[in-house]
Structure 1
Amino acid sequence: MIAFYEPVSGQHILNKKETSIPSIRAEEVLIQIKASGVNRADLLQRRGLYPPPENVTSVMGLECAGEIVQVGTSVSGWKPGDRVCVLLAGGGYAEFVSAHSSMVLRIPESWTFEEAAAFPEAFYTAYYNLFFIGNLSGSQSVLIHAGGSGVGTAAIQLAHAHSHKIFTTVGSEEKVLACRKLGADYCINYNNDDFQKKIYAITQGLGVDVIVDVVGAKYLEANLRCLAYKGTLVIIGLMGGAKSSLNLAVLLDKNLTIRSTTLRHQPLSMKSELTQLVSRHVLPLAESGKIKPVVDSVFSFNDVEQAHQRMLENKNFGKIVLTWRK
C-alpha cells in the first residue's frame, strides 16, 4: 500500500512510499481508507516536533474514514463493508490502517467519507474539553478561540446544541459570518478588535465561564482576565508559544482553574471510553442534523503538500480533508 511519512533528512516534502498492509490482532479491524483529516499536529510532526507515541506507526495521520475489510477473531459488532471513522494515534495517511474495534464509530448514512473523516479529531477534542475538562454546564458561557478551525467549528456547534452563550475569535470578517451561522453569539475578529476588551464590555465585566484555547502563551494573560469568577481555562494548543509569565494574583483573586489536555498520548482505555461517550451523546446530534463536520476543502493525497500549505496559511474554515478518490 501507499503511505506518507515525515520528510527524510534534507527534504521538505512528505516521504511517500510503498509499505505492507498492516496485519491485525484479534481485537482489531482493518480499514480501507477513503479519506483522512488534516490536523495542526500533522504540521508539527512533519517538522519533527510531535513524534508518535511509543509503539505507534510512524505513518502520519490522526483520523480517517473508510470501509472495514477484515475483522479480528475477537471482534463482534463489526463486519467487512461497514462504513466507519476512527480517531488514530497514527496511520491515517495511508491506503489501509488497523484500529482497535473499541475505537471505531459507524458513519451516519447521510455523510460522505470526506465529512466522516473530518469528524473524529475535531469533535472528540471539542466534546472532551468543553464538557469534561472545562465542565461547561447549565447556563454557562464559553469563549472558543480559533472558531474557524476544525476544533473551533465543532466546539461552536456542540455548545450551541446545548444552549450555551458562545464567544469566539477568528481572523477575518468572512469567518465572523461563518461562525455566526454555526451558532456563535459573539464573533470577534482579532485583527480588528481586542478580544479581552470586547468580552469585558459585552459581559459588563463579568467575563466568561470557560475558555477553550489553542493559542497558549500569547493569550494567557488576556484569557485569565476574560474569565469569570471560578472560571476555567482549557489549553489544548500552543500556536502562540509555550512560555509565558503568570501573575498568580489573578488566579487567586478570581479562584480560577487552568487545565490542559492532548488526546494522542492518552491510553487506549481512556480513548475507548471517550469513543463510547461520543457514540451515545454526539452522534445522535449528527443524526438529528444539529451538528455536522465542516469541510473546508478536499485534496487528493497526491496533493498533500498543497493541503498542508493551506492550513499553514490559516486559509481554511473547518477541516481540510485528503482523499484517495481519483
Structure 2
Amino acid sequence: MAWKANETTVTEFILKGFSDMPEVRLISTIFFLFIYLFVFLGNISIIAAVTRDTHLHTPMYFFLKNLSFLDMCYASVTVPKALINSFMGFQVISFRECVAQLFLFVMLCASECFLLTSMAYDRCLAIYKPLLYGVIMSRKLCTELVIVAWSSGVLYAIFHTVNTFSLLFCGPNVIDHFFCDSSPIMRLSCSDSHTNEEVGFAVGGCIILGAFALTIISYVLIVSTIAQIHSAGGRWKAFSTCSSHLATVILFYLTGSFAYLTPTSHYSPTQGRLVSVFYSILTPSLNPIVYCLRNTDMQMALKKLFVPSK
C-alpha cells in the first residue's frame, strides 16, 4: 500500500472528547482524571513492590511487573491528551500527533495481548508440568517472551498505522472520539476505505483470535490438571494462582474484541467511545485491584512497601 501523506490536505484533526454535552464532559473529565491517577499509582506500586521484594522475583511476578508497566503506558498514550484538551477546551491534534498516538496505542494493545498469552503459558507450565517448571521457565525464556510480545506489538502497529493512514484525508477532520482510533479515522477518509477495512479486520482478527486460542488451550490444560487433584484445598490453591490472570484476560478480550472485531461500516460513535473507555482506561485500572485482592503475596509486598517494619 502506497503511503499517501503527500496527497493529504488535512493537517490536523479535532477530537470531540469524552462527550458532546459540556456538563457530561466536565463530570467525565474529573472522573477519568481520578481513574488515571489510580492507574498510574496502582501500577507503579506493583512495579516497586515486585522489584523490592526478593520473594517475588519469580516468572509470574516478572510478567506481572511488565504488565503493570504496559498498562501504565497504555493509559498514558490517550488519557492525558484527552484530559488536557477537555480542561483547556482545545480539541485539536495535529496529523503527526494522531499518527503517533494510533501507533503507540495499537502497539501497547497488541503487546498486552501477546504478554497475556505468555502469562497463560507460564501458569499452564506451573500447574500442568510443575516438576519441569523451574527448568523451562528460566529468566532467559521469560525475557525472550517479553521481547517477542513487544516486538510483535511494534510490527502489528506499523501495519495497522500504515493501513489506516494510507487513505486520503481531504475533507472532514472531526474525529468522533476522545483519541485517534482507526475506525473513526477511516470514516473521515475521502477515498474508498473498504479494502483497508477488510484487510485490517482480517489481520487484527487473526492476531486476536490466535492469541486467544493459545490462551484457551493453556487454560484447558490447567482446568484438566486441577480436576485431577483430589483435595478441595489443593484444587483451590492451584486455581488461585491463575484466577487473577484469568480475570484480566476476560476483561481485556471482552472489551477489545468489541472494538477491533467490529467492521467500520457497523461502527457507532457512541458505542465506540463507551467500549474504548473500558479497554483503554477501566481495564488498566482494574488490573491492580484484581491482582492485589486475589494475591496474598502481593498484599504482603505492598504492605512492606508502604508500611516499613520498624
**TM-score where L is the length of structure 2:** 0.24
* TM-score, normalization by structure 1: 0.24
Which of the pair has more CA radius of gyration? 2
Q: Which protein is richer in helix relative to its size?
A: 2
Answer 1 or 2: higher relative contact order, Cα 8 Å, separation at least 6: 2
Pick the structure with more strand per residue: 1
